[in-house]
A and B are shown apart, each in its own frame.
Chain A
């Protein structure tokens, strides 16, 4: 029994400060991302979420250049990016994608420059990889209070606009009839999204942080039709994936290729994507068995109308 235990939790797992910090930060990040992610998925803003992470990378690489803690860089730039997208964002979905893409492209170009300067001026390797792909084990303990504060801010923002946000996302006409300020609600949500993305960027790296934002939420939306429950599920899946990823990565030093260790970010993303695929494939089969009369076009948008009807009721 103790042998199995020692294989699962390699010696030193619980004693290590790095692992404890990684577990705390990872757990918090997963909860915030799960809650914000459900709205991101339902509002169809995955691209915006991903772009904010990449825009945050510009801030992260700039912060390394100025020797400021990277979290501040990620936060500042992703909030500014959110504002910019909203500013040039146009109402039609197609143009909104275009506006997002233009901001994303310009930001990535600038971060190419900043990362290049990081590596040439400071002549220290690995910073480009840290900004882009993350290294949760390298977080210092002093970031924990900051992460707690910003997680709380993001969650409070979401709670504040919870009902109008649901209404504006699902039934714009009804929201207008009830005098919901959709623009303001959208702004507040985008701010919460920007903070959540900045937090997950320091954990998973800016270009992989989309996984923890979108993956658990998309899986949860498949599992339940109630938004509150979906957020719980998303947070749960996210935390599990994050902790399991940290554990596996810690264990992986004994895996082949020897003494190299598998990156945490890869393991977390792999777990999340596997969960989504598992739920997607099984739920798809169930739907086709129970509802053979549904036309294939309707099946492509999973139970959207049912969700809407239930939520507004």
Chain B
């Protein structure tokens, strides 16, 4: 399990988990689960198109994911956000299905793109994957505080006139969507287009119900994501099943455990100090 061709998979999977956990923390903070579900579909269309034309798949993934992110950012300024995301999602998926119907690829390959596969990452693609991962992590870390403020208290972030123009909420939204797109294009080959968002909301949601401190929650989210991905790869290798199955089910399990833990703790506090229930129920940065 840890020898030869699997080494590259473990390295890629670990990068995927770190980026997924970190980006996912803001996906949950900003309530953009739907966008996190839609952008990978664009990447899927890109992968299908690239393999049809015989180009590098990572390139196709990146270009289409960024296009999807920019499209959502631009169109949702003019219409309902969820409607725009839904339409962008189906438009790109339909494009993907068109490319697939033209290509002569085996169904297992397509299935791998949608639901993930253990050997999704070529060893030759490890370096570009690592560079993309580094870019995502650096951007998120550099913008941690403004992103946090804009996610939790958008009105205050907008009113703060001391900020330079590109740190306004609108631009931040766009930057975040592009980071999401980059994170998607490196995650997709391993986890699959349909289940990336699962990795991006399960672990962070669990982390948030365990701790109220944003930095600790982001760190914990990365930790839980790493555990989820490692277990998924091991399970997929051991039983020869799609990676996406394990990622989807384990992420949901993480969320349930986190909710259960928060419930138990609240219950324990209620017994000891009846007055503090309301304060304990919500994370501290969401308090009015």
Contacts and interface: CB of A to CB of B under 8 A. Distances in A.
Contacts of A207: 41, 90, 93, 194
- B contact face: mostly helix, strand, loop, or mixed: helix
Given A93-B31, A129-B107, A215-B90, A47 B205 contact: no
Interface in B196-239: 197-198, 201-202, 205
Contact of A260 (B33, B83, B102, B205): B102
Interface stretch (A24-32, A143-151, A191-199, A266-274): A266-274
A97 B247 CA distance: 19
A116 B241 contact: yes
A108 B244 contact: yes
B249 A106 contact: yes
B107 A125 contact: yes
A207 B94 CA distance: 9
Interface string B162-200: 000000000000000000000000000000101101100
Nearest to B249: A109
Interface string A97-140: 11011111111111011011001000001101100110000000
B98 A105 contact: no
Contacts of A49: 86
A112 B87 contact: no
B277 interface: no
B86 A47 contact: yes
Nearest to A217: B83
A41 B79 CA distance: 11
A112 B34 contact: no
Contacts of B107: 119, 125-126, 128-129
A215 B86 CA distance: 8
A280 B78 contact: yes
A128 to B, nearest CB: 6
B31 A110 contact: no
Contact of B245 (A46, A93, A112): A112
Interface residues of A, number: 60
Interface string B1-31: 0000000000000000000000000001001
A223 to B, nearest CB: 13
Contacts of A284: 78
Max chain B Cβ within 10 angstroms of own Cβ: one of A47, A210, A284 = A47
Contact of A128 (B33, B93, B111, B255): B111
Interface in B72-106: 75, 77-80, 82-83, 85-87, 89-91, 93-95, 97-98, 100-102
A103 B205 CA distance: 13
Contacts of B64: none
A257 interface: yes
A102 B89 contact: no
Contacts of A280: 75, 78-79
A284 B75 CA distance: 11
B32 to A, nearest CB: 8
A105 B252 contact: yes
A266 B94 contact: yes
A102 B78 contact: no
A214 interface: yes
Nearest to B111: A128
Interface of B: 28, 31, 33-34, 37, 41, 75, 77-80, 82-83, 85-87, 89-91, 93-95, 97-98, 100-102, 107-108, 110-111, 114-116, 192, 194-195, 197-198, 201-202, 205, 241-242, 244-249, 251-252, 255
Interface of A: 41, 44-47, 49-50, 54, 93-94, 97-98, 100-110, 112-113, 115-116, 119, 125-126, 128-129, 132-133, 205, 207-208, 210-211, 214-215, 218, 257, 260-263, 265-266, 269-270, 272-273, 276, 280, 284, 299-302
16 contacts: A45-B82, A47-B37, A98-B31, A102-B251, A109-B252, A112-B115, A113-B245, A205-B97, A214-B86, A218-B87, A266-B97, A269-B93, A270-B91, A270-B94, A273-B90, A300-B78
- Which 7 A/B pairs are nearest by Cβ-Cβ distance? A109-B248, A105-B198, A106-B252, A269-B94, A94-B31, A101-B33, A211-B90
